[in-house]
Structure 1
């Protein structure tokens, strides 16, 4: 009993650090865009994240997989290369706080995909309600009925990134879970993502004028926002289980909106704040229904049987069988 306090304290500190690192990803993307193109940011982020995880894999005695590279390329495209690029493109005209909010729609897209594939449990009224509430929140944020609404190609790119994560999670849950050491597999995935992103460099016509701010932002984004977040998330899942890790996703929009307002001076309109609250309520409803269903099916979580894969930020991805770090 006496040891419970320090253990809980460490868990809270880890979750706080993870939420801050993931939630700040959108801030670092915004700063990187001051001197670099979206493609350059994507390549740098993937490469630095891969190096970070390669070092951690070596420390943990994990080796890169030999036979999974075809699957890893598919996962890397939908979970890293494509969404990383879409977030960087979208944030050229959309605030970082709004990007963080839209990132929270990933579980809603996951729910739709799960329904379509029949792999996400029963269709319950609570889950359907959560889905409807979540998209109502997205609609409130976009406000297409207003002239000053956020509906644009950039905003749609951000939604596309969230949907891409959902596709990746469904694929990784079927094809990558349980294969090899999780840190090494994620490092390999980011190596594949680096190669895919590099192929886009000749097509990049966006002018870039690298400066100290942009370079530092990419380094922080790759090493901390992509690499270290995986390690933190993995430790939380090992110590407390995937359900506890999933709760971090609820904090990301709050962190991204708060940092955008404090550091970048981004406006916080009542409509966007209300939309964020509605999105989070929808996500919470779907997660609540999923948690109840999972509790009925298994007596206890077995963290050691969960495979992770790196996402950026970003987002709600940390929970479940596969997680990626935006």
Structure 2
């Protein structure tokens, strides 16, 4: 494998397992030294071992993402162990899924704190290092289709992931003169969350057996494994992506997508502005057939990929 990240140093938050671990392993395989992060020290240590046993370089920082102290510790670990910092991947996250009336303040605050504040504090600390040392660094934040379109029962998660993409666009503006890029990856892959969704059952079962996922999932849904997402993270971390910034890029299975920025889909003008009665009379005719959909729209599963009834083996 070409070591096109040789000499680079990366931090990957939430990289003890799952997607984050795949990102850390891919960056290490490409030659980067990696600071692994997880709240569980044993899990973080296992991730480091998987990298070093494969010939890579890695150290662990066991700490919850969100507090500024953790962000400072992550950057310090990169500099103290490997002499510099070039890449930050903000992957750490938690779920507290509930419908709106059942969602508590704690459910909301916990998800916002880890995803949104955790991304903010870590990027702020990395950006300070990049700016002070003249490093053309790479910021790679992790979004979600939920943040792009919404999803039932995920008010907190949708808010956090939409906010991350909004911050990325702002950072791209603020950092461009320093040669630093900021992008969001929108992964669609088998994770702890999707493993519990019956719609994806056959795909997850195939992965667990070490078999290729059915083409319907990989092609029609763009749904795959963590290993399908990791190469995009490595690409955005590389010099080859120096002109790519402020973008939200989806990846999963066989599919790669460039998400649009929000743009008006229809514009109308009225001399003197829009009063209430005119809106009542005109809105449906002007915009009724151009209202935008919400949520993910999935095609019907083929008969052979229908989930097994609960309780069957």
The normalised TM-score by structure 1 is 0.26
Larger radius of gyration: 2
The normalised TM-score by structure 2 is 0.26
Q: Which has the higher helix share?
A: 1
Tell me: higher relative CO, structure 1 or 2? Use CA pairs within 8 A at least 6 residues apart: 1
Q: Which has the higher strand share?
A: 2
